[in-house]
Amino acid sequence: MTTVPFSILGLDLALLANLESMGYQSMTPVQAQSLPLILQGTDLIAQAETGSGKTAAFGIGLLTRLNARDFNVQALVLCPTRELADQVGKEIRRLASFIPNIKLLTLCGGVPSGPQSISLEYGAHIIVGTPGRVLKHLRKGALKLDQLKTLVLDEADRMLDMGFYEDMAEIVAATPGTRQTLLFSATYPDAIKHISASMQTQPSRVSIASTHTSNNIEQLFYEVSSEGKRLTALISLLGHYNPASCVIFCNTRQECQEIADTLAAKGFSALALHGDLEQRERDQVLLRFSNKSCSILVATDVAARGLDIKDLEAVINFELSQDPEVHIHRIGRTGRAGKTGLALSLYTGAESYRVNAIEDYQKSPVKLAALDALQVNHKLDLRPPMITLCIDGGRKAKVRPGDILGALTGESGIAGTQVGKIDVFDHQAYVAIEREIADQALDLLTRGKVKGRYFKVRKIQ
């Protein structure tokens, strides 16, 4: 496969150096096709899936149009979920790290709007948020979009599915007609054509074929004899394959929570992710799953949309989706970046029509497997490899990841290789530690200082 370097785009040298430091060696297909059009100022419709590199595509584009000396909102990225908005915001911050004093605000529900309004009073260059919360600040007058240069509708198909069209239309009406509008969508239904016609001007269109193929994902379907046997079958799958990281998809919030609770009661490291969780709970669930202190995430489609978990070993469909396209999106979360993945699906005889629909959609037969052929290991160590420690101090206390790492690995400390992912929020920070030395790390952080101060530290379990 031919690789295309970012250097052919004529980007600022500091941006190119930053991309290289972030590990961006060459452009992904969506970046190679869309960035030349974005940099020309053209409106764009890009059909591309999660994990294709689209965030960097529109992030690079909006940064090239940014005037760092102007603290009016110049770029707005709308996302369907809080989780996706958080991921997009973090990625754009990394991309913008070469520009001094760039201010990006994330505006999402689930947290008080008051502090967000106060932050808006001081100005911002980039807003990333969900339609509902962005519209709330717009109606209150806290958010002004009259100087907007770039509008991004990320995962526009999902925003429409979630009923955000009216909110999006009202937000777009408050922006200048001269703006550039970039629409990214995994699918291209008639509703996307309608929203493009109403919000874009002569857009170019690019379409990227799925990178998740049968070549790197082993997909197996298991028939269960009845609904009552589904949970037993799930436990057998986990006991046979023992994935280090796994997302289990359910069709309802209630089912999602019940399965996570049942698995946890049986000793599995499982957490639920669905719309009934408070924002702080959702943040902790995602954080623990991404830093390997939780092995199994049980999620609904809406909650999991936009998640890009690295090195996801397996996806299990507890129930098949009614939409074969959703099924393809589900299994496409494993087997990324050239790695192999495992996709396991449970179905009853009454759901065989859904299996047939998947075969028609992917234009190839599925592979059936037998549950009684599974060899379940009952002596598995079900504990995750890491434990998360929470420090009651974050960005507001000037705590940085390097400060935490230094406190852990300083004189008489632990090895840096035993420290996992470090996440710093406004008022708290989280660090993943290898399970065997978690107590030692807790003692180091409790007795020692971070950034010259003592902080309360506790395990999150």
Tens digits of residue pLDDT in 255-272: 999 999 999 999 999 999
Same domain, 110 and 16: yes
Per-residue pLDDT tens for 111-169? Answer: 889 999 999 999 999 999 999 999 999 999 999 999 999 999 998 988 887 788 999 99
The confidence score (pLDDT) of residue 217 equals 87
> Which amino acid type is present at position 103?
K
**Which are the contacts of 49, defined by CB distance < 8 A and separation ≥ 6?**
186, 208, 210, 211, 212, 329, 332
**Which are the contacts of 110, defined by CB distance < 8 A and separation ≥ 6?**
82, 278, 279, 282
DSSP result, 15-32: HHHHHHHTT--S--HHHH
The CA distance from 160 to 296, in Å, is: 29
| Count of domains forming the chain | 3
Q: Within a domain: residue 314?
A: yes
Q: What is the residue whose two structure tokens read 């770029």?
A: 75
Same domain, 369 and 393: no
The confidence score (pLDDT) of residue 402 equals 86
Q: What is the CATH number of the domain that holds 440?
A: 3.30.70.330
The confidence score (pLDDT) of residue 263 equals 95
DSSP result, 192-215: HHHHHHHH-SS-EEEE---S--TT
Q: Within a domain: residue 379?
A: no
| Pairing outcome for strands 126-129 and 296-300 | unpaired
Same domain, 167 and 269: no
Report residues of the chain scoring pLDDT below 50.
1, 211-213
Q: What is the residue whose two structure tokens read 């973090």?
A: 90
Same domain, 82 and 116: yes
Q: Within a domain: residue 1?
A: no
Q: Within a domain: residue 282?
A: yes
The confidence score (pLDDT) of residue 58 equals 96
Same domain, 199 and 223: no
E strands within 49-202?
A: 75-78, 104-107, 126-129, 150-153, 180-185
Backbone angles phi, psi at 243, to 5 degrees: -70, 140
Cβ atoms 130, 85 nearer than 8 A:
yes
Q: Within a domain: residue 84?
A: yes
DSSP result, 315-382: EEESS--SSHHHHHHHHTTSS-TT--EEEEEEEEGGGHHHHHHHHHHHTSPPEEE-GGG----TT---
Give the number of other CB atoms < 10 A from CB of residue 284: 19
Cβ atoms 99, 75 nearer than 8 A:
no
Q: What is the CATH number of the domain that holds 332?
A: 3.40.50.300
Same domain, 45 and 181: yes
Question: Where is 85: in which H helix or E strand?
Answer: helix 82-95
Q: Within a domain: residue 402?
A: yes
Same domain, 188 and 269: no
The confidence score (pLDDT) of residue 387 equals 94
Q: Within a domain: residue 445?
A: yes
Which of 319, 347, 373 delimits the end of a domain? 373
Instruction: Output DSSP code: residue 186.
Output: S
Cβ atoms 79, 155 nearer than 8 A:
yes
Both structure tokens of 390: 């929470």
Same domain, 221 and 365: yes
Same domain, 398 and 367: no
The CA distance from 245 to 335, in Å, is: 12
The confidence score (pLDDT) of residue 303 equals 62
Same domain, 395 and 349: no
Q: Within a domain: residue 241?
A: yes
Same domain, 359 and 246: yes
> Which amino acid type is present at position 79?
C
Residue 452 lies in domain = 386-460
Which of 187, 207, 227 delimits the end of a domain? 207
Which of 373, 402, 429 delimits the end of a domain? 373
The confidence score (pLDDT) of residue 181 equals 97
Same domain, 47 and 111: yes
Radius of gyration of the chain (CA): 23
The confidence score (pLDDT) of residue 160 equals 85
